[in-house]
Structure formats: structure tokens, C-alpha cells
Amino acid sequence: MINTQVKLAKRPVGLPDASIWSIEKNDIPDLKEGEILIQIEYISLDPAMRGWLNDARSYIPPVQIGEVMRAGAVGKVIRSNQGRFEIGSYVYGTGGVQQYIATDGKGWFNVDPALAPLPMYLGTLGMPGFTAYFGLLNVGKPKEGDTVLVSGAAGAVGSIVGQIAKLKGCKVIGIAGGSEKCKYIVEELGFDAAIDYKNEDVKLGIKTHCPKGIDVYFDNVGGEILDLALGRLAMKARIVICGAISQYNNTTAVKGPSNYLSLLVNRATMQGFVVFDYTKDYGIAAQEMASWIQQGKLISKEHIELGIENFHETFLKLFSGKKKGKLVLKVSE
């Protein structure tokens, strides 16, 4: 069998173009003792992937030149030289942008396609869902009646954050790009209101929908919107720094907040977090969110593209906004 792989060819400056990656076809290696062979069916596309391309210190080592592009994946075990995973079982882990992976199984977990569609294990029941769950509940610590503002609200993380906040009895305002996405988060996901950053005055929108201030701000975008949120904090507000997608493709220095003294005035806190810090509790999050999905209290939406050869084009949808919910690439036919 031949393995089609997407490898990092060079480091990007700004928004990555197609030359950043190379597509290679290589033989699948023979399995060593204790290894399994996984046929990857779906891969996860996440904004964090842009940060993994930079040769800089971060919470995880960068992808090296010549390596398969890192990505979460779900697939089927088709060969096994060990007893932990059975042939025919489905598993989730960091498989990379490729069709097959030989691995010792460390960091891989069984998933059940009978309980949820496979792409959902890359979204709501995977890293984005866990990011929303732990970021909001453990860092944001919402209380019933709080006003929660979410940026990137139509994305894989933001859409789940807003729904969980509603389940916890909060008033939820989402910031999204375009009338279609704003309509989606209000009418389908149950947000109380939406602010269209592409066509509205965001500062005025925040003032209108958060008249008593923001108790929890879940930030996925950074930049100017973070600054505007800081200017409207309630007393003892909590700001959750999850990501800064507006800054990831900068060719100049990252723009930091100028309104940071609002933290002092309002005795507020601003905390960054990485979902990998909560690995031991993933099962708790998955069980509770699966229950919410089954009860119809949580909506999971996956945007699925086809073909490993379309990786670059699909990757760009993370930054163009041409998707709703979790972005997934179907690798195998």
C-alpha cells in the first residue's frame, strides 16, 4: 500500500501558501513488534496548526522541516502486533496529515462510531470540545446570571463555549463574521445575541448587549476585539485566553491589549490555558457533553471537506471564515 503524506517543506511568513507543504507518496513501513497500523479516515484542522509551523518556543515543539504535518486524526486499525487495540476498532490520536500511520499506540484512544459519527470525535467530543469545556468551566468559572461574551463564536470552540454557558444559566453574546454566522449562533445554537464584526460597530454592540459589563470573556481572536472587551469588564471579570487567530498570520509584531489597566480597575483576571493540561479529565468532559448531545441540549456541527490533496485549500478556510463549526478533512474514500 502507498501512503500519501503532507510534509512541511519550509516555514511560512504570514498566511501559508501551497509551497509550505509537499505532498509525497511513500511505502507503508512494515510493523514492528508492539505496533499497530491505522488507516486514517478524517483529520482535524485547527487554528493552532498555524502556530505549530513557527520555529519558536511554545507549549508544544514545532513541526520540523520534512516531518508529516501534525494533526489530530481518527481512523481504523487494520493491522496489529499488540493486544491493546483490535483489528477493526476505531481510534483517535495525533495521526498527522497522511493516509496511514504505524504507531505503538501511545496517545491513541478507542472511539465508538455507534455512539457518535467519527468526525464528532475531532470536534465536540475531541480537542475543540474539551478546549471549550475546560476553558469555560475551569478557567472562566461562569455563574448563573453572568454575561458571557465569546469571540470566534461560530467556530469549533466558540460555538460549544456559548452553548455550555447557556446550559449554565448565563446570558451569552457571540461575536462572529457575517450575517449568516450571526443568525446561525442565535437561531440554531441559542445564543442571546450576536455581533457581526464585519458589518457592525463592535464597541457599540458590546455596550448594547452587555449593559452591566462582561463577567466572562472567552477570547479566540485576540487583537482589537480583545481590547474592546477589556474596556467593558464587570467587577471581578474573568478573561479566558484560548487563542488569537487574528494575529497568527502577522508579518509584524503581535498587537497586545492597550486596555489592560481595566484588569486593575475591575479586579479582573486574564488567564491563558492549554487543553493538554486537562488530559486526565478528558473522559469526564466527553461523558457529560455526549449526554448533552443525546438530550438535544448541545448541537455539534462539522464542516467536512474531501481529499488529502486539498489540505492547503481546506487549511485556509480556518482563516477566511468560510466554514461553520468544526473543520474536518476526509482523507480516505
Among 319, 328, 323, residue whose Cα is nearest residue 47:
319
Q: For cell 450575517, name the residue.
A: 179
- What's the confidence (pLDDT) of residue 330? 97
Rounded-to-integer distance, Cα 6 and Cα 67, Å: 8
Q: What is the mean pLDDT of the segment spanning 14-34?
A: 93
Average pLDDT, the chain: 93
Taking residue 13's Cβ as centre, other Cβ atoms within 10 Å add up to 12
Superfamily of domain 2-123+300-330 in CATH is Medium-chain alcohol dehydrogenases, catalytic domain (3.90.180.10)
From residue 257, how far is each of 39, 71, 163 by CA, in Å? 44, 30, 27
Bridge partners, 328 (sequence order): 44, 304
Q: Which of 58-62, 66-70, 300-304 has the lowest mean pLDDT?
A: 58-62
Q: Are strands 100-103 and 36-44 parallel, antiparallel or unpaired?
A: antiparallel
Q: What residues pair up with 21 in beta bridges, in sequence order?
A: 8
How far lies 321's CA from each of 152, 177, 306, in Å? Answer: 9, 7, 18
Cell (9 digits) for 184: 446561525
149, 128 Cβ separation under 8 angstroms = no
pLDDT 10s digits, 263-318: 999 999 999 999 989 989 998 999 999 999 999 999 998 999 999 999 999 999 98
Residue 251's pLDDT is 57
Taking the C-alpha atoms of residue 133 and residue 206, their distance in angstroms, rounded to an integer, is 24
Assess if CATH 3.40.50.720 describes domain 127-276.
yes
Residue 41 and residue 118 in contact, taking contact as beta carbons nearer than 8 Å: yes
What residues contact 32, with CB distance under 8 A and at least 6 apart?
Answer: 81, 102
Per-residue pLDDT at 255 exceeds 90 = no
In the chain, what are the domain boundaries?
A: 2-123+300-330, 127-276
User: Cα torsion at 100, 104, 109, 110 (round to 10°)?
Assistant: 70
- DSSP H helices, 19-76, are 48-52
- Alpha-carbon distance 55 to 46, whole Å? 18
* Report field, pTM of the whole predicted structure over 0.85: yes
CA distances from 326 to 155, 200, 303 (A): 6, 25, 6
Quick one: DSSP state of residue 103? Answer: E
Given pLDDT bands bounded at 50, 70 and 90, which one contains residue 243?
confident
* Rounded Cα–Cα distance for residues 240 and 124 (Å): 19
Helices marked H in 191-235 — which ranges? 202-209, 223-230
Amino acid type, 321: G
Q: How far apart are CA 231 and CA 311, in angstroms?
A: 39
Length of the chain measured in residues: 333
Average pLDDT over residues 240-256: 73
DSSP annotation of 255: P
Write out the three cell numbers for 142. 461562569
